[in-house]
Amino acid sequence: MTSPLYNASIPVLQQMLRAMSDVLKKAEEHATQKNIDPNALLQARLFPDMFPLVRQVQIAADFSKGIASRLAGAEVPSWPDTEVSFADLQALIAKALAHIGSFKPEQFDSSESREIVLRPGTPKEKKLTASAYLLHYGLPQFFFHVTTTYAILRHNGVEVATRASVAARFRVTVDGGSICLDLLGASSTLTKCLLPCAVNYTVDPLRAFDVGLMMAAMQRERSIAGRLIQCTSATNLRAPSPVVRVGQQSTQSSRSVHNHKAVV
C-alpha cells in the first residue's frame, strides 16, 4: 500500500506546478499579444511590500522540492534563484517536476514516523512530525505562493480562469447518506481530503495558513461543495457517478449538500 503522505504530497505538488506552468504560459502570451514588456508582469506585486511574481514562483518551486525531499528522507538540493524571464521560470518548474518525480512511493514508507527539522542549529529551529510538516507548513506555504502567482497575473489583466489554476477532477458518491468528494485516481483518504481543500484554498488563499481551519471552513461553506457537484438529486447518485469539473454548479446540488454531511 502506497504511503498516505506520498499520495498527499507528490501528486498534489505535480498537479499545482503544472497548473502554475500553464498560467505562466498564458501570461507570456498575454504580454506578447498586448505588446507589454514581460518584465512588467515578472516584477509585478500585489502590494509594494510583497514579493514580485518571479520570487513567488521561485519560492513555490523551493517548497515543492523541500517537501518531497524531506518526506523521502533525502537531502534538499540548493538551487540559485537566478530566473529573470518566463523561459527561466518554465525551466525552474520543469526542474522541480523532474526532482519530485524522481522519488519512488517506497521512499515514503517510513515517512510518517520521520521527524522533520526546519532551520536546524538556529534560534528558529523547529521539529515537526512528517504529517504536521506537510499539512500545517509545507503545503499551505506552497499553495500560498502558487495562488499569489495566479493573483498577481489576474490583477494585471491576464485572462486565466480559476479552474485552470487547479485543474482537478472530482467524482461524487453517496456513502451511508453522506456525499463524498473524491479526487479521481486518489488512493488514500488523506489525498481525498487535501485536494478539495486545495481547491478551496486556491479560491481563498487566506485560509491556507491553517489546513485544519481550511478544512472546517470548507465543510461549513456548502457553496464550495456545490460547485464541485453536478447532480439532480442526492438520492439519485450512484457510484461511479459522472465526472464534474471545478466551477460547475446546480441549484439542486446545493440543496443536496445542505441535507447531507460532506465528507472531505
Name all domains of the chain by residue range, CATH numbers in brackets.
4-166 (1.20.120.450)
Extract the residue ranges of the chain whose pLDDT is less than 50.
168-214, 217-218, 221-264
pLDDT at 132: 94
Task: Please provide residue 255's backbone torsions phi and psi, each rounded to the nearest 5 degrees.
Answer: -65, -35
Assigned C-alpha cell, 233? 438529486
Q: So what's the pLDDT on residue 110?
A: 82
pLDDT at 2: 81
Residue-level pLDDT at 111: 80
What pLDDT is attached to residue 98? 98
